[in-house]
Amino acid sequence: MPDKREQVESIKKSGLGSDGCANKGVPAMKRWMVVVAMAAMLLAACSVRDASDTGIRQQDFPGPAAEERQTVAETPRPETERRPEQATEQAEESSGHADAEGQVQAPDESDEPAEPVVLADNLRIPWSIEMFGDVIYLTERPGGIVRIGNGVVERQRVELTQKLSTAAEAGLLGFVLAPDFAQTRQAYAYYTYQEGARPLNRIVLLRLEGDVWKEEEVLVDRIPSGRVHHGGRLKIGPDGKLYATTGDAAEANLAQNPESLGGKILRMNLDGSIPDDNPFPGSYVYTYGHRNPQGLVWTPDGTLYASEHGNRANDEINVIEAGLNYGWPVIEGTERREGYVTPLFTSGRNATWAPSGLAWHDGKIYAAALRGSAILEFDPASGEHRTVITGYGRIRDVRVEGRYLYFVTNNTDGRGDPQENDDKLYRVPLNAFRR
C-alpha cells in the first residue's frame, strides 16, 4: 500500500485537495467520477484495520455491583477454551467446518486442553451446580447463590424466612430450577435452619426477583437435622417428580423408622404434595435405611443411582428402587441380609470416598469425592471404578453438560486445605477421560 505522502500526491493530481474536497475548475461530471474512485480507495484502506478496532468489549456494558462481581479467571485463556455461554455458538464458528452440502461438522476436539479450566474462584463453600442454558448457578452454604454468565460471576442475595444453621455440613444445600423457570423464575432449595437450639431442614420454593431469590412457599418442613448428616440433594426426575436426599441427623435409628423423614430418599410432586404412586401411601418416603445420601442421577433408561456416606468407611453407590431398605444401620459395606439392599459399589472398610454429587455420561457414573479428593468413575456394566481427576482437594458436586464435566471444590468447608482463591468451579472436556 502507498504511504500517506504518495496518497496525497495522487489526490492532488486527480483534482481533489488533501482534505478530499474537489479543486475548483474541474467539471462537475469529472469531479463526481473522481469522488467515487477516491471513496473506493479510502474504503480499501480502512478494511485492513486491526479487527480489534471493531470488537465489542465486556466493559462497554454495565454489570452488577463491583463488590459482588468477579471475573471468570485471571489465568490467560487458551484460544480453544470458551466460556459456557459461548460454547454452542463458537463450536460452529471457530472449531466446526462445513461439508460439501454446507452442513456444520462436529468440532475437532483434538486440540482442546485436557486439564480443568477455572470458570470462577473465591467461592464460599459451594454445594450444588445447576444450569439454565449457558448460565450456571451455584448454591453456597453460607446463603448465597452465584450466577455465572457472560464471563461475569455475580453473587445473588437469598432471602429466607428462617435463619440458616451454621452447624457442620449445614446451610443452603440442594438447588434445582423449576422446569418452567423461564416463565416463573422459580426454583427449589433445601436448607438447614435453627429453631432455638435445634437445627431442622426444609424444602422450599424460591422465586427470582431481579437479582434476589425470595422464599415463596415451604413444601416440606421439619426434616430431622443434627450436628451432622443433613443430606440435602434435590433433583427432578424423568417422571417430573422432585426427589430429595435426607440424612439420619447422626441418629442412626431414624433411618429405619418409617414415620421419620430422616435417613431417606423422598419423592414429591412439584407443588409439594405426595404422589399417589409413592411406595408408602400418604408418605414422602421413596426409599429408607440411608445414613447420609448425597447424590442422585438417572440414566437415559430411567435407572436411578444414589451416593451415600458410610460409617467411617464403607461408602456406597446404590441402584435405587422404590420401597426398598438400604440397610443402615443394620448392614454395611458388602454385608448381605434378607430384606436389605447391598450396594452396587462400596469403598470397603479400609478406604473412604465420601461421595457427594453424581453425573452420568456414556454408560459411566461420575462421583464427586470429598474425602477421596477426586472425581471417581464407576462402570455399572463391568463393576470397575477408577479415579479420573485428582489434585484439586475436596470435590462436592459434578455436572455433565454437552461435552463438558463441571465440578466445584469444597476446600473452605473447615475440613479441607484451602489453596489460593479457593473454592473454585472447574470445567474439563469429557474426552479427557477416554482410555
Q: Quote the DSSP letter at residue 87.
A: H
| pLDDT for res 151 | 87
Q: What's the pLDDT at 111?
A: 59
Rounded CA-CA distance 407/311 in Å is: 25
Could you give the CA distance from residue 325 to residue 48 in angstroms, rounded to a whole number?
71
- What does each C-alpha distance from 104 to 81, 87, 402 come to in angstroms? 20, 15, 17
Q: List all residues 6 or more positions away from 48 whose beta carbon is below 8 Å from its beta carbon.
A: 1
Low-confidence ranges of the chain (pLDDT < 50): 1-108
Domain ranges of the chain: 1-37, 117-433
**48-57 long-range contacts, Cβ below 8 Å, gap at least 24?**
48/1
Of 382, 398, 389, 392, residue with least CA distance to 417: 392
C-alpha 147/C-alpha 138 separation (Å) is 7
For residue 110, what pLDDT is reported?
A: 53
Fold for domain 117-433? Neuraminidase (2.120.10)
CB 246 within 8 A of CB 201: yes
Pull the grid cell for residue 317.
Answer: 453407590
Q: Is the pTM of this model over 0.85?
A: no
| pLDDT at res. 372 | 85
Q: Which residues are catalytic?
A: 229
Rounded to an integer, what distance in angstroms lies between the CA atom of residue 46 and that of residue 434? 48
- Give the 3-state secondary structure of residue 295: strand
Query: How would DSSP label each residue in 357-402?
Result: EEEEETTEEEEEETTTTEEEEEETTTTEEEEEEESS--EEEEEEET
DSSP 8-state assignment for residue 35 = H
Q: What span, in angstroms and rounded, lies between the C-alpha atoms of 183 and 209? A: 12
Q: What is the DSSP letter of 325?
A: B
Q: Reduce the DSSP state of residue 93 to 3 states and report it.
A: helix
Other Cβ atoms within 10 Å of 226 Cβ, number: 21
Q: Which H or E run includes 88?
A: helix 87-90
